[in-house]
Amino acid sequence: MIAVTWDSVKAETEKDTDFKALMLAIENGFPKNKNNFIPNLLPFWEYRNDLMVSDGVIIYNDRIVIPPTVRKEILDVLHSAHQGVSGMTARAQATVFWPGITHSIQSKRDNCCSCNRNAPSNARLPPIRPHIPVTPFECIFADYFEFRGWDYVVIGDRLSGWTEAYRIKSGTSEMGAKGLITCLRKLFTTFGVPEEISTDGGPQFTSGETKEFLQQWGITHRISSAHHPQSNGRAELAVKSTKRLLENNVGPNGDLNNNAFVRAMLTIRNTPDPTCQLSPAQ
């Protein structure tokens, strides 16, 4: 994994002959006729009025303009969580730019074997609208899932979409209520105690120990109906998103304590939601 920083973009910009010429044009003025402009830089012509230079880096509408030598690393970061084109594009629109970036993102997604293999084929039933939270972590969701023989639990905020994923060791107490309660306590210490938790009717969620724990903290437990599992739709989406994120990002034995997983999780948390244009981190 290669970190792409301001300094690395600046260094690559300085090495690139075309980008050095582009900086000169930005600072000294573009020609009046594009036919008199440098041929290799013509893709930038339509964006010329919104380009500027800041500390040796080219900026387009608050987005960093990426030199060709760094674009592969940027695409790897954008796709590290195996999001679709819309998610990758939303993240890029808030941070980075180059002419044709949308096409580059589409190609990156089209050439991802993991995404093509795991693309959804069946339409989901429309979700049943639950209580709508008004503050972050007022209402949370949780769900268990299996990925390549390893077990995980995902817990998240219904308002912002922020999620936490935990590796659960099979055949141990972690698979039961004790493990769930441990994960919930970790969440509470960081984000506070929620008013409501939404889950399915799995044994970890309906055990007496879990019920007692939730009662002690004054948390309402909303269980989705077996006939309408889509009523816990936020959890279903989070599981699908997390499974995509785990592709190529888990360590030995499915552990999550590695740089690839952290990078992918940061990518998801900083990707704007298409509806509200805010990322979970915001």
Contact (CB, 8 A) for 278 and 94 = no
Q: Which residue would you say has higher pLDDT here, 278 or 200? A: 200
Mean pLDDT over 173-202 rounds to 89
Structure tokens at 219: 């948390």
Percent of the chain scoring above 70 in pLDDT: 85
pLDDT band per the 50, 70, 90 thresholds, residue 188: very high
pTM of full prediction above 0.85: no
Q: What is the mean pLDDT of the chain?
A: 83
Among 165-169, 262-266, 270-274, the range scoring the smallest mean pLDDT is 270-274
- State the residue for tokens 């987005």: 63
Instruction: Say how many residues make up the chain.
Output: 282
What is the per-residue pLDDT for 131? Answer: 64
Mean pLDDT over 246-260 rounds to 85
Q: What is the DSSP string of the chain?
A: -----HHHHHHHHHH-HHHHHHHHHHHH---SSGGGS-GGGGGGGGGGGGEEEETTEEEETTEEEPPGGGHHHHHHHHTTT---HHHHHHHHHTTEE-TTHHHHHHHHHHT-HHHHHH---SPPPPPPP-PPPSSTTSEEEEEEEEETTEEEEEEEETTT--EEEEEE-TTSGGGSHHHHHHHHHHHHHHH---SEEEE-S-HHHHSHHHHHHHHHTT-EEEE-BTTBGGGGHHHHHHHHHHHHHHTTT--GGG---SHHHHHHHHHHHTSPPTTTS--TT-
Torsion of CA 193, 128, 160, 61, to 10 degrees: -170
Among 40, 28, 47, 90, CA closest to 68: 40
What is the per-residue pLDDT for 107? Answer: 84
Mean pLDDT over 212-229 rounds to 79
Q: Is the pLDDT of residue 148 over 50?
A: yes
- State the residue for tokens 């936020």: 234
Q: Is the pLDDT of residue 119 over 70?
A: no
What is the per-residue pLDDT for 95? Answer: 86
What is the per-residue pLDDT for 225? Answer: 59
